[in-house]
Amino acid sequence: MPDLAFADGVRRQTDYWLTVYKRTWRSSVFSSFVAPLFYVVAMGVLLGGFVESDTGELEGATSYLAFVVPGLVAAHAMQTAVGETTYPVMGLIKWQRVYDSMLATPLQVQHLAGATLSFVFFRVATTCAVYMLVLAPFGVFESWWGPFVAYAGQLLVGMAFGVWVYGFSARLEDEQAYGLLFRIGVIPMFLFSGAFFPVANLGEVGSWLARLTPLWHGVSLSRMFCLDDIDWSTAAVNVVVLVTLVVVGWFWAIAGLRKRLVS
Amino acid sequence: MSAGRTRVLVVPDFSVDPDSMILARGLRKSFGPPGAEFEAVKGIDVDVRRGEAFGFLGPNGAGKSSTMRMIAAVSPVSGGDLRILGMDPATDGPAIRGRLGVCPQEDTLDIELNVRDNLYIYGRYFGIPKAEVSDRVDELLEFVQLTEKAKAKVEDLSGGMKRRLTIARSLVNRPDLLLLDEPTTGLDPQARHVLWDRLFRLKQAGVTLVITTHYMDEAEQLCDRLVVMDKGVIVAEGSPLQLIREHSTREVAELRFGVAEEGATHETLAEKVADLGVRVEVLPDRLLVYSEDGEEVVAKVHERALTPVATLVRRSSLEDVFLRLTGRTLVD
């Protein structure tokens, strides 16, 4: 039995991550739960009040609020995952060297990544769940079951970013490249991947570029199922793209972490 | 990693010898890309038996830490054979690490957790049940004299306390083999003595200790047997006393002369006293004359009208052994 079972290795870190969460949940309350509400009110209700558009132009939404919120939740899943896999991961690897201490025990690289990404999943799942619950009374969901599928799509896009940014962190010497990641990756995607306006508005080339971003696939799933305006072939493409990103990203992340820590 | 390495030695089945804790043959470690490799460990043989306190002595960069990381089953072996507790680290890493205690050179404590949680959470990584870990943590806090600091943040501990906590942490799985990489580097003398006392108790309790150090007093205090490493190879092996007997004289007369006295350099002064001892070493600030009777050397130096500004007669130490073997001092 050379390797420790994956689930066992991950489970052994539960106490560590519980302690981390107990220590950090207060500071994450604003970014996870209050800030999203501000976005909904500011962008959806107040700014959206000036937007007069018909349902056809808004990808099937009856109001700008109904259009923008599914996109906002998907974008929030991305931001939560990126937030949890940048500086905190650099801390585990380099600053506090928690990973080094873990690797002196029976735990192996895949267990460390598994537990950390499980925690990222937990953070994405809780923040998106709260977000969706807060949205329910705004009357933006068109079916009772669609939001559950939309929620799954949000988790999927969150984890697609989670594994790739985690793998990126594993390969970074220091935190300076994070500035670049946010400036040329996260923020442009947040603004132009269809969360705030239909990507068709970007023109032929622009809209295709937007559709190449992982976030668009998440926004697309989230919106179609919230609004109960589903194009099943698009949904299938969205799911395949995101699942592939998660799976490939996972192996890429493990390989990077192993190279970094086991020398 | 292991697949590509050629086995040049026939290694017996170590599993039949339960007292072999570490067995290395031609052990190598290199870093960097092929063609531009840096070889940190260049083929060493090591045997450590159950209950021993074994030391790796050498200056910084001698290959001690690289060796320790291979023994700790965290760094893959580049060449040669290595068995830890009768197992191969390339295939049985988790099983080996489950029975090792590791006290790394730099503390890797979680500074945001309190003292108790650092031990408790670490114990959980070994799969030890919660209640059991909790009991062990209380015992260990007592052992390293940190019971009163149980709720303190690690950040607020002194350097010596942090080291003791790291040692307590390395004991949480009741290891068969405890690896200590430079355990007292950076500590003040009092904290070092407290730590040595704790390590000595572990040794008395039968724990096998493997220590790296560049302090010869530490090696003399703690090690039954040691190897002297320099530039990736082992240059001598034995008990501290054996090594001193083999490679040095009983006493050393240290002669400190004023700077450039009457144009005389240390080298010319060394020639004048060369016949007084078995050997003379020239250091930047003093001459070391190796002899069975240091007092006699000092007396004769004065008879020859040489006037050192200070003299000291002392027993030979591992520092002298190292100087003899490598031509360099341990701490630069």
Q: Per residue in B74-127, pLDDT tens?
A: 999 999 999 999 999 999 999 999 999 999 988 889 888 899 999 999 999 999
Flag whether residue B102 sits within 8 Å of chain A, measured between CB atoms: yes
Nearest-neighbour CA in chain B from A228: distance (Å) = 46
Nearest-neighbour CA in chain B from A20: distance (Å) = 9
Rounded CA-CA distance B124/B134 in Å is 10
Hey, what's the torsion of the CAs at B8, B14, B19, B23, to 10 degrees?
Answer: 20
Tokens (6 digits) for B244: 């001193």
Domain over B249-315 is classified CATH 3.30.70.980: yes
Summary mean pLDDT of chain A: 93
Nearest CA in chain B to A105: B97
Flag whether residue B76 sits within 8 Å of chain A, measured between CB atoms: yes
Nearest CA in chain A to B87: A2
pLDDT of B133 higher than 80 = yes
Strands (E), B172-321: 177-181, 208-213, 225-230, 233-238, 251-256, 279-282, 287-291, 310-315
Nearest CA in chain A to B114: A19
Flag whether residue B43 sits within 8 Å of chain A, measured between CB atoms: no
pLDDT of residue A254: 97
Nearest CA in chain B to A103: B74
Q: Which of residues 209-238 of B touch A (CB under 8 A)?
A: none
Residue B258 DSSP symbol: P
Nearest CA in chain A to B92: A2
pLDDT above 90 coverage of chain B, percent:
59
Q: Are A122 and A115 in contact (CB under 8 A)?
A: no
Q: Are B55 and B226 in contact (CB under 8 A)?
A: yes
The arithmetic mean of pLDDT across residues B239-262, rounded, is: 85
Taking contacts as CB-CB distances below 8 angstroms, the residues of chain A near B76 are 262-263
Taking contacts as CB-CB distances below 8 angstroms, the residues of chain A near B68 are none
Tokens (6 digits) for A102: 């873990």
Closest CB to A96: pick one of B98, B111, B120: B111
CB contact under 8 A, B113 and A14: no
pLDDT of residue B323: 86
Give residue limits of the domains in chain B: 249-315
Nearest CA to A112 among A123, A103, A121, A104?
A103
- Which of B96, B115, B125 should we substitute to test contact with A (largest number of A Cβ atoms within 10 Å)? B125
Taking contacts as CB-CB distances below 8 angstroms, the residues of chain A near B102 are 104
Residues 6+ apart with CB under 8 A from B308: B255, B256, B257, B301
Q: Which of A115-129, B175-189, B292-306, B314-328 holds the top average pLDDT?
A: A115-129
- Cβ count near A116 (within 10 Å): 27
The backbone torsions φ and ψ at residue B55, rounded to the nearest 5 degrees and listed phi first, read: -120, 145
The arithmetic mean of pLDDT across residues A218-237, rounded, is: 97
The angle subtended at Cα A215 by Cα A212 and Cα A221, nearest 5°, is: 100
pLDDT of B248 higher than 50 = yes
User: Parallel, antiparallel, or unpaired: how do β-strands B177-181 and B20-31 relate?
Assistant: unpaired
Taking contacts as CB-CB distances below 8 angstroms, the residues of chain A near B125 are 12-13, 16, 102, 105-107
The arithmetic mean of pLDDT across residues A66-77, rounded, is: 95
Residues 6+ apart with CB under 8 A from B249: B277, B278, B279, B290, B291, B292, B316
Query: Where is A24: in which H helix or E strand?
Result: helix A14-29
Per-residue pLDDT band for B3 (boundaries 50, 70, 90) equals very low
Nearest CA in chain B to A93: B108
User: Parallel, antiparallel, or unpaired: how do β-strands B53-57 and B177-181 relate?
Assistant: unpaired
User: Parallel, antiparallel, or unpaired: how do β-strands B79-84 and B225-230 relate?
Assistant: unpaired
pLDDT of residue A134: 87
CB contact under 8 A, B125 and A102: yes
Taking contacts as CB-CB distances below 8 angstroms, the residues of chain A near B94 are 2-4, 106-108
Rounded CA-CA distance B87/B51 in Å is 18
CB contact under 8 A, B72 and A13: no
pLDDT of B261 higher than 70 = no
Flag whether residue B106 sits within 8 Å of chain A, measured between CB atoms: yes
pLDDT of A217 higher than 80 = yes
User: Parallel, antiparallel, or unpaired: how do β-strands B310-315 and B251-256 relate?
Assistant: antiparallel
pLDDT of residue B329: 67
Span A9-59, pLDDT tens digits: 999 999 999 999 998 888 888 877 788 888 889 989 999 988 888 777 888
pLDDT of residue B7: 46
Residues 6+ apart with CB under 8 A from B255: B269, B273, B286, B287, B288, B289, B298, B301, B306, B308, B310, B311
pLDDT of B62 higher than 80 = yes
CA A97 to chain centre: 25
Q: Which of A106-115, A127-136, B285-294 holds the top average pLDDT?
A: A106-115
Query: Where is B270: in which H helix or E strand?
Result: helix B266-273
pLDDT of residue B233: 95
Rounded CA-CA distance B83/B11 in Å is 9
pLDDT of A87 higher than 70 = yes
pLDDT of B212 higher than 50 = yes
Per-residue pLDDT band for A168 (boundaries 50, 70, 90) equals very high
Q: Which of B4-18, B54-68, B121-135 holds the top average pLDDT?
A: B121-135
Q: Are A157 and A217 in contact (CB under 8 A)?
A: yes
The arithmetic mean of pLDDT across residues A146-167, rounded, is: 98
The arithmetic mean of pLDDT across residues A76-81, rounded, is: 96
Nearest CA to B70 among B56, B58, B57?
B56
Flag whether residue B2 sits within 8 Å of chain A, measured between CB atoms: no
CB contact under 8 A, A101 and B124: no
Taking contacts as CB-CB distances below 8 angstroms, the residues of chain A near B169 are 101
pLDDT of A202 higher than 50 = yes
Nearest CA in chain B to A262: B75
pLDDT of B234 higher than 70 = yes
Closest CB to A108: pick one of B91, B94, B112: B94
CB contact under 8 A, B97 and A106: yes
The arithmetic mean of pLDDT across residues A116-144, rounded, is: 93
Of the ranges A236-245, B49-58, B252-261, B317-326, which one carries the lowest mean pLDDT score? Answer: B252-261
CB contact under 8 A, A104 and B173: no
Taking contacts as CB-CB distances below 8 angstroms, the residues of chain B near A16 are 121, 124-125
Nearest CA to B103 among B50, B177, B45, B186?
B177
